Copies of this chain bind each other. A is one copy, B any other.
């Protein structure tokens, strides 16, 4: 089964927004056994959308489009696809009632523009939008109507590869992620299960810290290659502060062969593996804290809240995370964390001594079992020959005392914050594992 994704939106082509649909939909579809074979993004223009959808229908069994179903004048996907397929748009009473109700519940007048959303291609399945107004749409195409539709827009007369005459599905989803995601889970997943045979696909990602990408491959590749003839596929991906090893296989023996690959990587990389698949190191740390019934406090300077933000992204963090201080100003380091003025003067705010006092102060003031502190130079300004941009001190306070590590992360400001926070969390994880 071939699946293709067509993301519409001029804002994508102008680089004004990030295409989060690709990752989310590709991930969900892969987990259902349907790996997306091609994703295309094009602008909201007649010929671009019709060409892309027509080509995709020529190759794939399932085509999913995103965007262009809303009420504004650049939302033209519904009209263009109806035209491509030679279908009329007809008013749908359920959609109308849903939209009337949507605005009534919010005590707002229904904007006249939303009327266009009540018109759907004849014969289309309608998915009511639980978090918005524009419905999702699905059409089963038993003929090659996309080649025959009465099109106003310019379409080049190329010939297309048509692998089979079996029915195809075209699914159209609204653009806003908080509308698209629940709709996919509630309406598209059941449709796929009903219409397409489930395929077995297994994917496991092992996530490691503290070793570079080339070195990771050198360590595991030879042993993994022995499993390739049995159907294992191997991938590597370098992330800020982490390297992922991805193992995949399809078909009946997939679970077993991927399991064998996982065992190989675990044996070789050992404690450098901090998690699997969607595990972020903050999730792993919150899980360890929860299991060991320990609490955490933070004292952040250069990461500026990134550590706290990531920890509090984990549902359930409130049971183990007491809080943190973002002490940008030196006075805040003294007032909230008890860092001594003398230490700041003698060593400077970016120093092992200040990092240590920040961690000890946070641990004491919050009454936590562990406290992590970071102080460093995120840049772009503030570097010196002694302490160049990217210098960072990471301190960990625990019952046994305070330890401090120095690192150099000479990246852009955003990457610096992300990598430094990951390293701090990796320090805590290592300590908790050795306890």
Contact = CB atoms under 8 A, between A and B. Distances in A.
Contact of A322 (B300, B328, B367): B328
A272 interface: no
B326 A324 contact: yes
Contact of A328 (B156, B244, B312): B312
Contact of A326 (B23, B36, B38, B326): B326
A287 interface: no
Interface residues of A, number: 108
A366 B332 CA distance: 6
Interface in A55-73: 70-73
B335 A365 contact: yes
A323 B329 CA distance: 6
A57 to B, nearest CB: 14
Given A213-B70, A308-B308, A14 B37 contact: no
Contact of A214 (B43, B48, B114, B317): B114
A214 to B, nearest CB: 4
A191 interface: no
A325 B326 CA distance: 6
A346 interface: no
Contact of A37 (B43, B160, B380, B411): B43
A161 B158 contact: yes
A300 B326 CA distance: 11
A12 interface: yes
Copies of this chain per assembly: 2
A239 B203 CA distance: 32
A58 to B, nearest CB: 9
B16 A19 contact: no
Interface stretch (A164-172, A230-238, A261-269): A230-238
A118 to B, nearest CB: 14
Contact of A111 (B16, B215, B234, B367): B215
A284 to B, nearest CB: 17
B74 A236 contact: yes
Given A27-B15, A42-B38, A411-B178, A235 B159 contact: no
Nearest to A215: B111
Interface string A326-347: 1111011001100000000000
12 contacts: A10-B233, A10-B246, A14-B27, A22-B41, A70-B213, A72-B236, A113-B214, A113-B217, A178-B412, A304-B317, A322-B328, A336-B365
